[in-house]
Structure 1
Amino acid sequence: MKNIFINLKKDSRGLLFSTDLLFSLIIILVIIGGSADLMDITSSNMQDHVFRSGFEKIVIDTTDILIKTPGTPVNWEESNDFSIVSPGLAEIADDEVKVSGVLSLKKIIALKKYMVQENIFPEYIESNIVIYPLNKNIQPISIKNNTIPPNSQEIVLVNRTVTCDFQYMNCILQVNLDNNSKNHQEICSHREHASALELKNYMWTCKNFKVSLKDLNSRDYYLIMEPNQGNNEESWILDNVDSKINEENKFNGAAVKLNDKISSLMNSKNQTLLYLHIKSVKNAEKSICTYVVSAPKNTSPEAIKEYYVHPQRCYFVVSAWIK
């Protein structure tokens, strides 16, 4: 009887040991399973982070290439085969070596017209590219405009401030009508014909510019004044040494085409030096800017605006997502 009791105690200890071991193994398995799930989650998050970082880098780098380089070849917008083009929108400076830092309207139009944007991003990335001028008088340019799917989870937005040349206009001459400027102190022949009363109330400003027959045949020349700055009393005269003119023309707020007048003054010569004389009110409250500009032949007068004379600051916005 005593031996049986002793054996039962031994079996009880063995049973107790087996139960503890089982619970321990269960706990270990739970921990291992939880760790495995956590590792899977961590690994998935890391993969998502790496993919997101790579996606962002592609969009950012591509945007910078577009606005900081002229593309390959540098005159790709004139190409007949856009399949080999790597587009860029930066203009080349006059020396044809350095990038000017200004976006070319011609390249922007080519990018939009010939769908060269297919060469911008990898196939799995879709994008929108829009240029928003800070000057509200200029309409935004939508190079590519797609609807972003509502279920898109990965969207990258890049916004860069750029300078954009919106017209093929060249500023030939700029005249600042300012009482504090030395411009009006330059000798102008029309002062000699002005009366003492006129000289008391008005000042004559005179500047010159050259025009060749070749330029006149390929470009349109316009005279424009910045709007809402004049006193409705300003007038102008265009002449040269060979043809002195005293008849004044009033500014009417619209761009004035000068080709006929220039052609008459050139008198079949290959080149001439023209003088622009402007009469303005003395002691005006604000300065007035007047420009002579040239644009491609047959440019509409409505397209000749003073805010096209100089490149404009804009927001270059690229949004991209996974297809």
Structure 2
Amino acid sequence: MFLDKLAEDKKGIVFSIDLMLALILITVILGVSANTMDIVGSKMQDYSYAHSLERITMSGADMLIKTPGSPENWEELMELNGITPGLAEIDSSKMTSKPNVLSKAKIERLKQSYDLLMLGKVIPEYCNSTLIIYPVDQCLEPIVVKNISTNQSSSDVWVVNRTVMCNYINTSALVFIKAVNENSTISEQNNQGEICPHSEYNKTDGHRKVDFENRKPGWICYHFRVTKFMLESTDFYVMTDPEIIPDPSAGWMIDRPENMSKELKNFNNKPVLVNERINECLNNNTTAVLWFHVFYSGNLDKSFNTYLAGFPKGTPTDKVKLSYLNPQPCYFVFRVWY
């Protein structure tokens, strides 16, 4: 009987050990499964965060690059409440935006009030961001709109790098006289210019239009508006393309209808600063309509294009180039993180 009882006890012990081992195995499996689920959940959360950050960065970059903002002249306003920023330049002739062509004035305004304009309008308030515009021309300095160090504890950072165009030096062409136009006929070229006050004042010796078809000398004239503020903030230059002109008899003058001039200035084969002359014409007025007149010999082979261009006050002379009158290619680098 003792042996039979011992055998029964051994069976009970074996059963208890088997149950314990099974429970341990189940516990391990559940623990591993739970850990795996945590890892999968964490990965899914990381993916969700990364996908959300990508969407925020991409949509923010699109808003800045492709739209002029609301209202379109927001950079001119002092009050920024209710404003949505955008950097796309406005085509003043068509009153439409130029996607991927950035306005330097809008960039500078965004730079002044970056956080106020960006947070809650372009990106969520809980995000951080930097924006730097790097010109392809390495002679130009990058435009640092906003630059802060990335949080070292942040593992999610998304960067958008777009190629855009930017009027980098904020130049303007007040008058562009395109006497050389390979895609137009001579008759179209003869129709250039406006009837200037000289023609109305003196029908005989006035500024008759140049006639390239019959090789007759003459003028191409256009008016432009200037203000005291523009004169104080801008350096104005007379420029030609090509810079060294082939027509030695060509010349230019700037005057106004109330005080017309007969003094023909020579082109110097380099940009000519004309602020002093414009100031003389402006006199004590805060604003005036002036005229820019260019004389051509009538020889189409010696014709050239002429610009009356404005550059920011104090622009170094080596930066006074026709290439800067057109938007420059740049890299738009927008970085966002939590």
Task: Give yes or no for TM over 0.5.
Answer: yes
User: Retained in 2: the 8 A contact 1:172–1:209?
Assistant: no
The letter for the 2-side match of 1:133 is P
Cα separation, partners in 2 of 1:231 and 1:81, compared to 1, 3 Å: closer
Cα separation, partners in 2 of 1:178 and 1:301, compared to 1, 3 Å: farther
> Once the 2 structures are TM-superposed, how far is the Cα of residue 244 of structure 1 from its aligned partner?
7.3
* Alignment of structure 1 residues 175-214 onto 2, 5 Å: 175=178, 208-212=220-224, 214=225
* Alignment of structure 1 residues 52-71 onto 2, 5 Å: 52-71=50-69
Gap regions ≥5 residues in structure 1: 193-202, 265-269
**Residue matched to 1:106:** 105
User: Retained in 1: the 8 A contact 2:179–2:189?
Assistant: no
Deviates more, 1:3-12 or 1:163-172: 3-12
1:158 aligns with 2:160: yes
* Alignment of structure 1 residues 131-150 onto 2, 5 Å: 131-150=133-152
> Once the 2 structures are TM-superposed, how far is the Cα of residue 124 of structure 1 from its aligned partner?
2.7
**Following the alignment from structure 2 to structure 1, what is the Cα–Cα distance between the partners of residues 174 and 308?**
6
The one-character-per-residue Cα deviations of 1:254-281 (angstroms, maximum 9, x if unpaired) are 34427738988xxxxx9787542468x9
- SS of equivalent residue, structure 1 residue 31: helix
Cα separation, partners in 2 of 1:60 and 1:204, compared to 1, 3 Å: farther
**Residue matched to 1:317:** 333
Percent of matched pairs sharing the same residue: 30
1:12 aligns with 2:29: no
**Residue matched to 2:48:** 50
**Following the alignment from structure 1 to structure 2, what is the Cα–Cα distance between the partners of residues 263 and 111?**
36
Q: Normalised by the size of structure 1, how large is the TM-score?
A: 0.72
The letter for the 1-side match of 2:252 is L
Cα separation, partners in 2 of 1:91 and 1:232, compared to 1, 3 Å: closer
**Following the alignment from structure 2 to structure 1, what is the Cα–Cα distance between the partners of residues 128 and 117?**
12
**Residue matched to 1:292:** 308
> Once the 2 structures are TM-superposed, how far is the Cα of residue 13 of structure 1 from its aligned partner?
2.6
**Residue matched to 1:238:** 252
The one-character-per-residue Cα deviations of 1:222-270 (angstroms, maximum 9, x if unpaired) are 22246xx656876541269x9777x672424334427738988xxxxx9
> Once the 2 structures are TM-superposed, how far is the Cα of residue 143 of structure 1 from its aligned partner?
0.9
- SS of equivalent residue, structure 2 residue 50: helix
> Once the 2 structures are TM-superposed, how far is the Cα of residue 207 of structure 1 from its aligned partner?
6.8
1:276 aligns with 2:294: yes
- SS of equivalent residue, structure 2 residue 125: coil
The one-character-per-residue Cα deviations of 1:163-187 (angstroms, maximum 9, x if unpaired) are 212314025225476999977x978
User: Retained in 1: the 8 A contact 2:210–2:217?
Assistant: no
User: Retained in 2: the 8 A contact 1:127–1:321?
Assistant: yes
Cα separation, partners in 2 of 1:275 and 1:74, compared to 1, 3 Å: closer
**Following the alignment from structure 1 to structure 2, what is the Cα–Cα distance between the partners of residues 58 and 207?**
56
**Following the alignment from structure 1 to structure 2, what is the Cα–Cα distance between the partners of residues 222 and 206?**
22
> Once the 2 structures are TM-superposed, how far is the Cα of residue 149 of structure 1 from its aligned partner?
4.0
User: Retained in 1: the 8 A contact 2:161–2:333?
Assistant: yes
- SS of equivalent residue, structure 1 residue 211: strand
* Alignment of structure 1 residues 213-252 onto 2, 5 Å: 214-215=225-226, 221-225=236-240, 235=248, 236-238=250-252, 249-252=266-269
Gap regions ≥5 residues in structure 2: 191-206, 255-259, 282-287
1:89 aligns with 2:105: no
Cα separation, partners in 2 of 1:165 and 1:291, compared to 1, 3 Å: same
User: Retained in 2: the 8 A contact 1:239–1:274?
Assistant: yes
User: Retained in 2: the 8 A contact 1:255–1:301?
Assistant: no
Aligned length in residues: 298
**Following the alignment from structure 2 to structure 1, what is the Cα–Cα distance between the partners of residues 20 and 262?**
115
User: Retained in 2: the 8 A contact 1:85–1:116?
Assistant: no
- CA RMSD of superposed structures (Å): 4.3
Q: Normalised by the size of structure 2, how large is the TM-score?
A: 0.69
> Once the 2 structures are TM-superposed, how far is the Cα of residue 147 of structure 1 from its aligned partner?
2.6
Out of 155, 173, 176, the residue aligned to residue 173 of structure 1 is: 176
> Once the 2 structures are TM-superposed, how far is the Cα of residue 319 of structure 1 from its aligned partner?
1.7
**Residue matched to 2:116:** 118
**Following the alignment from structure 1 to structure 2, what is the Cα–Cα distance between the partners of residues 277 and 44?**
75
User: Retained in 2: the 8 A contact 1:71–1:86?
Assistant: yes
